[in-house]
Amino acid sequence: MTNFDQLFKDFNDLKVVIIGDVMLDTYWWGQVDRISPEAPVPVVALQRKEHRVGGAANVALNTVALGAQTTIVSVIGNDADGVLLQSLFDAQHIDTSYLLTHDSRITTNKTRVMSRNQQMMRLDAEITTPISSDIENLLLQKFTACLDAKKPDVVIFEDYDKGVLTPTFIKAAISICTERNIVMSVDPKKNNFLSYKGVTLFKPNLKEVKEGLQVSIPAVTLENLRSVHAALQKHLAHQISLITLSEKGMFFDTGSNAKIIPTHVRSIADVSGAGDTVIAVASLVYAATKNIELATEMANIAGGLVCEEVGTAAINKTHLLAECKLLLNK
């Protein structure tokens, strides 16, 4: 049986660096009672506004919630949304010493209009073109300085295809981490899917795998998923595949050991942010234990728990501990 009390205490000693696309998640909550006379759209009477950290920042929120010392490395705009994002980081005790502010970018802000716990509309303010080579060099300097100062146990690459992670930067960053023998985990997106060569843990979802490898997966079976891992490994030469399968659970493959972990029954309110929680929990557990099966089991539980909340939500450490003891120490 796993000593979960000790493992959760060990999280407090872990140092994590998260590199990728940070963003601001804005929620406008209101009431809909009528349709506009100007166009066939609902009229939302705004009642409150809420700001949360999103993207790679939501991964940081999860690692902090579990107790890990967390540093974020990214690029934001020199704008009001960037200032607001910085203040949210500070409030959550996320280290922003290596955050790069640049006039050529804007801070990504996804504004969701909500009514009766449902999303009515989303407005995205963003620049998604890749960062320039000048910014790449500045970011690489920040990243290297961060690794030298923080000496992290794990680096999480959180790619949202917003332009911060470029193939050139990814290659250089992986090389720097490999030299320092740092565990690397990746939450990929479409553009750079096959750029993460030589990482420790590669965590796409099933849709991303199909698009990234341009394959169809006729059925979610262990045999088919093992073939997917083999195909990924041909491109990436990585150590572990961890593939999320929505309602079917999660799959891991190390080459010598593979398993599908089914989901636990939950009442699902909102799936946004679940992937951020999964990569955060899997990365911390693997960094602490080097046990990928345990990391997958715990990430599977954590992803389910946050789906019970509306909007991007960080994992509750106490709740996760109780669920792990209940479901995994049988």
Return the active site residues: 276
HEC sequence for 95-146: ECCCEEEECCCCCCEEEEEEECCEEEEEEEECCCCCCCHHHHHHHHHHHHHH
> Shortest CA distance to 66 belongs to which of 294, 284, 311?
284
Q: Which helix (H) or strand (E) holds 274?
A: helix 274-289
> Shortest CA distance to 4 belongs to which of 231, 303, 301, 312?
301
Exposure letters 139-167 (e unless 16+ CB within 10 A, then b)? bbebbbebbeebebbbbbbbbbebbbbbe
Q: Mention every residue, 6+ apart, whose C-beta is less than 8 A from residue 135.
A: 75, 100, 102, 104, 105
Angle between helices 80-91 and 56-65 (to 10 degrees): 10
Distances in Å between the Cα of 234 and the Cα atoms of 25, 194, 228, 239 are: 37, 10, 10, 11
> Shortest CA distance to 299 belongs to which of 315, 310, 318?
315
